[in-house]
Amino acid sequence: MVKKASNSFDPDGPATADTLFGLPYTLENAKVVALPVPWDVTVSYQSGAAKGPEAILNASAQVDLFDEKVPNAWKIGIAMEEMPAKWIAKSKKLRPKAEAYIDLFTAGKADNKKTQEVLAEINAECKELMKWVKEKSLTHLKKNKIVALIGGDHSTPLGLMQAVSEHCSSFGILHIDAHCDLRNAYEGFTYSHASIMFNALKIKNLERLVQVGIRDFSEGENEIVQNSKGRIKFFSDKTMKDKMFHGASWYEITQSIISTLPKQVYISFDIDGLDPKLCPNTGTPVPGGLQFWEAIHLIEMVVESGRQIVAFDINEVAPGKDEWDANVGARLLYKMSNLAALSNSLK
């Protein structure tokens, strides 16, 4: 983490995992700052996303640095904050409590003083995490850095979204996911991973939420979309695939998506927005989804449209016994970092 940029750096040489992608940058001279948030307290199915940031860091050493779209991409400068020991410890402490609470909740037995105290404790700590993420993010945004939050579960980037709202007068969110995440305090957790976009919509200068790849959502979430008066634009995986089955190209579909986005764009990328063969260990996999290069092409088209990527997150990368999920996550992080920088003319 302490390497410094040097003319002697060989982008074709073997990398080590002591810095992100083996790059020779610090937080001070990097243009993109990755903020790891190893937290998965409120996940409702499979845990493991808290291990995502460390796994992505380790897998990043295997990513080649040449980028066809961004010449000399490695010179942009990407660096990662230290793993936050405080939040690692709190996540490990609170996850078993959350699991016990969820079991009682699903059995209809959570309405008692003890379980409500556990719920209150978890909600309070989630709120503190949100504040910490916001403060950290604002520190870097004020230095004109691009912040890339690496979760953790999908509850983690709310603080970054709030920081962006203070940094930009108006912005939109491009949300790639298998789920809408529009549930109000899912299972009682105010800051649930399934409530991230419900909470994001409370940000007044969030102009529009554009959801892409969704294929698992509730009646209530559908009502929120339908009653949003156009503030939420919805591109379900089924609808997009139907158009492709009838002859539409992916390029045509991306253009219809991008046309709904404002000038400044925040990208929130839940890895389960991809085909689950690319993320088999993610917490809540769903059949269908985008292919890797479909997702990258969409983001490339956002940049080519002249829109600015102001910040982004990648969440729900849960490593299995091998590095496959983290391998995909690391490559997604590198491509998104390069494209975000390109959109800001930081190349």
Domains in the chain: ranges and CATH = 20-343 (3.40.800.10)
CA-CA distance, 317 to 285, in Å (whole number)?
Answer: 11
Cβ pair 314, 329 in contact under 8 A: yes
CA-CA distance, 182 to 265, in Å (whole number)?
Answer: 19
Q: What is the chain's mean pLDDT, rounded? A: 94
Average pLDDT over residues 68-85: 95
In which order are the strands placed within the sheet that holds 171-176? Answer: 78-80, 32-37, 146-151, 308-315, 264-270, 171-176, 206-214, 232-236
Its pTM stands at 0.95
What are the Cα distances from residue 252, in Å, to 10, 114, 296, 328? 39, 54, 15, 26
What local confidence, expressed as pLDDT, does residue 127 receive?
97
Average pLDDT over residues 147-155: 97
Dihedral sign for Cα atoms in the order 244, 250, 251, 257: positive
What local confidence, expressed as pLDDT, does residue 1 receive?
38
Query: Tens digits of per-residue pLDDT, 204-222?
Result: 999 999 999 999 999 999 9
CA-CA distance, 155 to 43, in Å (whole number)?
Answer: 9
What local confidence, expressed as pLDDT, does residue 170 receive?
97
What local confidence, expressed as pLDDT, does residue 2 receive?
39
Confidence of residue 7 (pLDDT cuts 50, 70, 90): low
CA dihedral 212, 213, 218, 223 (to 10 degrees): 30
The widest CA-to-CA distance across the chain, in whole angstroms, is 63
Query: Tens digits of per-residue pLDDT, 105-137?
Result: 989 988 889 899 999 999 999 999 999 999 999
Q: Is it the case that residue 242 has pLDDT exceeding 80?
A: yes
